[in-house]
């Protein structure tokens, strides 16, 4: 039984007897009377429920029609606020505090929500944290209570972030329902952007509609955006301002609300922060058709680092953004030894994303990323790269990127990594035949024809001299005759004329050997702690890093470098797994130290049961690519992490990491 249900029921009839109320709400008479008392406390000054002898039942008398109507609207939007659901109370408190400028006491808020002042005080900690995300502060003063301090722009951004749970305030649109208003606003935007094209995703478009809804609620309360003259002058010169004026004109025609220029600039800010810079017919075509240092520069190191090109129809990538992207790719190279510095397509993809991102960062505008969880699970290496690249962005623009923003940057790296994997390493092969050079040459041509994209050298050798051959620089031996003795590289018997079985076996060998080679040497039983004595991320990183220094010969600076990296952003990826690593690569090969804590560690907002400290070396990208591809498997199958944790043995851990795919 809720206060809103009781008030609505009584408001719709002249009176209701106690028997009617107990039957309607399926509670006892005592419970009905208790809820009448509670509802009256919530409705103080607005309405009152009392027993009327003449009508033979309880009646609701409205004292303040407008206030009672707002109360009903608010309660219908937020549901059972007189219950103990903390999340709903927090949302209500955020809305209420943002929509008022005056002070409000904890006691009065507790009375409205019918909870104890202690509960409100506890909820206000969460409210304060949410407000802090938008550079808003919760001001507190003895005997006055609390109020929000911060700019109108940040108030609106915060309100919009929770608007899906219900907008607080009386409807500024008269008789129109919220769905009707949403449809009308969307139509106004669509018509305006046909005249002044600004390309944006469907998610960004829906987000803009929500922000305009919130803006109307605030404008009704005479709360307007205030921008200094310099900012306003700068916004007037942008193409988004012309589009924003068109949107404002359409809104004025639909609702009869004339927006001042500062509010038009507010719309322009949102358009600039939400637009998608659409490339020309292809990234290469866009680069070659643009002027400046990027014309036809694909694959050119100097081209990728030259002057910024056009990023889309009439949009020029600013030099500042181009240089920041260059610095981001330098950081990825320094840490991960993946060289994307020549990758013009990645450079363009990042730059196109960062142009609107700069606006979002400048005005503290958030963004939703419904794919974030999947991105972290499916592309852990790309996400790790994005975290470090985002640190460059954050330092440059004086802010910390949200994980939602970082996730979108990770998608650009995931695409670049896929292109690298498609190219793949080319292998060198020795072909052994017993029937002479002619057959060897035929077999060489057959191998090149079948596996040409993965084969570099094919060197023939007869069976009599194969044992004396130097195999340095070679990856496989393909032989048409059985070979005795041991060889330092894999041996595969094939027919003189390749058949389907040979092709399938060679494919499997190329795949399996690539994996074995890439992952060799990453793990060692001596670098495994099945009972890691740690209760915090700091203790876990220190414990594993010191183990690496002691047993794997890692440099002593690994401890500080890994802690410095963790301080920038959490490396807990989910599924009980954390992957800490140093902030820059170390000399020597990549090595991984594993630890299973005695108890789960609270790592940021996740519980971690398996910690893999990756001491990234300077030995190229194959080892890291192999490792993170296996991590993607683990993140997608939490039960594998559980098997590792339950068994606490090095052998089972390696089975789950290296051979998990075989069981699927």
Query: Of 132, 165, 198, which one is at a domain's C-terminal end?
Result: 165
Place of tokens 């902030």: 583
429, 476 contact by CB (below 8 A): yes
3-state per-residue secondary structure call for 373-438 = HHHHHHCHHHHHHHHHHHHHHHHHHCCCCCHHHHHHHHHHHHHHHHHHHHHCCCEEEEEEECCCHH
**Quick check: is 413 in a domain?**
no
169, exposed or middle or buried, with CB in 10 Å at 0-12, 13-18, 19+? buried
CA distance 140 to 151: 17
In a shared domain, residues 510 and 591 = no
In a shared domain, residues 552 and 567 = yes
What pLDDT, on a 0 to 100 scale, did the predictor assign at position 435?
A: 64
Q: What is the length of the chain?
A: 664
In a shared domain, residues 534 and 655 = yes
**Quick check: is 421 in a domain?**
no
Enumerate residue ranges in the chain where pLDDT < 70: 1, 74, 76-85, 114, 164-177, 276-316, 421-425, 435-439, 511-520, 619-620, 659-664
CA distance 635 to 608: 12
Torsions phi, psi for 517 (to 5 deg): -65, -45
**Quick check: is 105 in a domain?**
yes
CA distance 381 to 336: 9
In a shared domain, residues 439 and 483 = yes
In a shared domain, residues 506 and 626 = no
CA distance 293 to 535: 53
**Quick check: is 75 in a domain?**
no
CATH code, 435: 3.40.50.2300
CATH code, 190: 1.10.1790.10
Residues 6 or more apart whose Cβ sits within 8 Å of residue 648: 530, 531, 596
DSSP string across 245-278: HHHHHHHHHHH--PPPHHHHHHHHHHHHHHB---
Cα distance from N-terminal residue to C-terminal residue, the chain: 50
Q: How many domains does the chain have?
A: 6
404, 376 contact by CB (below 8 A): no
Report helix, strand or coil for 344: helix
CA distance 432 to 635: 43
What pLDDT, on a 0 to 100 scale, did the predictor assign at position 592?
A: 93
Residues 6 or more apart whose Cβ sits within 8 Å of residue 487: 471, 477
Give CA 251 to chain center in angstroms.
33
CA distance 446 to 496: 10
Report helix, strand or coil for 469: coil
**CB count in 10 Å sphere of residue 269:** 25
CATH code, 136: 1.10.10.10
**Quick check: is 327 in a domain?**
yes
CA distance 308 to 317: 5
Task: Note down the domain range covering 54.
Answer: 3-68
In a shared domain, residues 270 and 288 = no
pTM of this prediction exceeds 0.95: no
In a shared domain, residues 246 and 129 = no
**Quick check: is 78 in a domain?**
no
CA distance 623 to 47: 71
**Quick check: is 408 in a domain?**
no
In a shared domain, residues 349 and 445 = no
CATH code, 15: 1.10.10
Query: Of 165, 186, 204, which one is at a domain's C-terminal end?
Result: 165
CA distance 384 to 387: 5
Strands (E), 31-125: 47-52, 57-62
Stated as kind and residue range, the H or E segment containing 602 is: strand 601-603
In a shared domain, residues 476 and 572 = no
What pLDDT, on a 0 to 100 scale, did the predictor assign at position 390?
A: 92
In a shared domain, residues 220 and 325 = no
CA distance 361 to 400: 9
**Quick check: is 404 in a domain?**
no
pLDDT by residue (tens digit) across 6-57?
999 999 999 999 999 999 988 898 889 888 988 888 788 889 999 998 888 9
Query: Of 503, 519, 535, which one is at a domain's C-terminal end?
Result: 519
In a shared domain, residues 627 and 543 = yes
- Please state whether beta strands 57-62 and 47-52 pair in parallel, antiparallel, or not at all (unpaired): antiparallel
626, exposed or middle or buried, with CB in 10 Å at 0-12, 13-18, 19+? buried
In a shared domain, residues 542 and 489 = no
């Amino acid at each position: 039984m809720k206060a809103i249900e009781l008030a609505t029921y009584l408001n719709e009839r002249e009176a209701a007897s106690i028997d009617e109320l107990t039957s309607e709400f399926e509670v006892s008479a005592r419970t009905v009377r208790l809820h009448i008392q509670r509802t009256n406390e919530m409705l103080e000054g607005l309405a009152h429920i009392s027993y009327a002898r003449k009508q033979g039942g309880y009646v609701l008398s409205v004292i303040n029609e407008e206030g009672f109507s707002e109360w009903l609207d608010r309660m219908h939007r937020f549901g059972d606020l007189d219950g103990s659901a903390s999340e709903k109370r927090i949302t209500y408190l955020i809305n209420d505090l943002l929509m008022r400028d005056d002070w409000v006491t904890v006691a009065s808020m507790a009375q409205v929500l019918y909870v104890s002042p202690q509960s409100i005080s506890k909820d206000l900690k969460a409210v304060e944290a949410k407000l802090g995300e938008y550079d808003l502060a919760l001001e507190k003063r003895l005997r006055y209570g609390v109020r929000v301090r911060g700019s109108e722009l940040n108030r609106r951004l915060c309100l919009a972030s929770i608007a899906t749970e219900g907008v607080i305030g009386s409807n500024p649109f008269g008789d129109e329902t919220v769905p009707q208003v949403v449809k009308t606003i969307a139509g106004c935007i669509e018509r305006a952007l046909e005249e002044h094209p600004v390309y944006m995703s469907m998610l960004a478009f829906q987000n803009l509609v929500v922000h305009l809804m919130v803006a109307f609620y605030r404008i009704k309360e005479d709360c307007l955006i205030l921008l200094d003259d310099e900012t306003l002058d700068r916004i007037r010169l942008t193409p988004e301002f012309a589009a924003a004026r068109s949107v404002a004109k359409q809104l004025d025609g639909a609702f009869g609300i004339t927006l001042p220029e500062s509010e038009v600039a507010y719309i322009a800010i949102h358009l600039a922060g939400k637009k998608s810079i659409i490339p020309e017919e292809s990234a290469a075509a866009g680069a070659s058709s643009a002027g400046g240092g990027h014309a036809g520069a694909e694959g050119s190191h100097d081209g990728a680092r030259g002057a910024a090109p056009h990023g889309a129809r009439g949009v020029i990538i600013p030099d500042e953004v181009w240089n920041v992207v260059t610095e981001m790719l330098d950081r990825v190279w320094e840490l991960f030894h993946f060289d994307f510095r020549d990758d013009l397509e990645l450079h363009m993809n990042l730059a196109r994303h960062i142009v609107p991102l700069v606006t979002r960062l400048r005005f503290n505008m958030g963004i939703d990323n419904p794919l974030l969880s999947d991105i972290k699970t499916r592309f852990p290496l790309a996400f790790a790269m994005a975290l470090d690249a985002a640190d460059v962005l954050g330092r440059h623009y004086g802010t910390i990127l949200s994980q939602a923003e970082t996730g979108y940057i990770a998608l650009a790296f995931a695409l670049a990594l896929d292109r690298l994997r498609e190219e793949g390493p080319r292998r060198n092969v020795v072909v052994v035949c017993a029937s002479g050079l002619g057959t060897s040459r035929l077999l060489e041509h057959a191998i090149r024809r079948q596996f040409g994209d993965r084969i570099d050298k094919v060197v023939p050798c007869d069976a009599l001299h194969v044992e004396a051959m130097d195999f340095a620089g070679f990856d496989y031996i393909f032989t048409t005759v059985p070979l005795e003795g041991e060889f330092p590289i894999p041996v595969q018997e094939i027919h003189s004329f390749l058949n389907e079985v040979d092709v399938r076996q060679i494919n499997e060998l190329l795949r399996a050997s690539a994996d074995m080679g890439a992952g060799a040497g990453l793990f060692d039983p001596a670098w495994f702690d099945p009972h890691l004595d740690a209760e915090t991320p700091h203790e876990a990183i220190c414990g594993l890093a010191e183990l690496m220094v002691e047993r794997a010969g890692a440099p002593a600076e690994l401890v500080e470098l890994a802690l410095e990296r963790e301080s920038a952003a959490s490396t807990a990826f989910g599924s009980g797994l954390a992957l800490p690593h140093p902030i820059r690569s170390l000399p020597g090969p990549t090595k991984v130290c594993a630890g299973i804590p005695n108890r789960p560690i609270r790592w940021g907002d996740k519980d971690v049961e398996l910690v893999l400290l990756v001491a990234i070396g300077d030995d190229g990208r194959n080892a890291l690519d192999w490792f993170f591809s296996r991590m993607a498997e683990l993140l997608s199958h939490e039960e594998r992490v559980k098997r590792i944790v339950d068994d606490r043995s090095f052998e089972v851990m390696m089975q789950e990491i290296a051979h998990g795919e075989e069981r699927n």
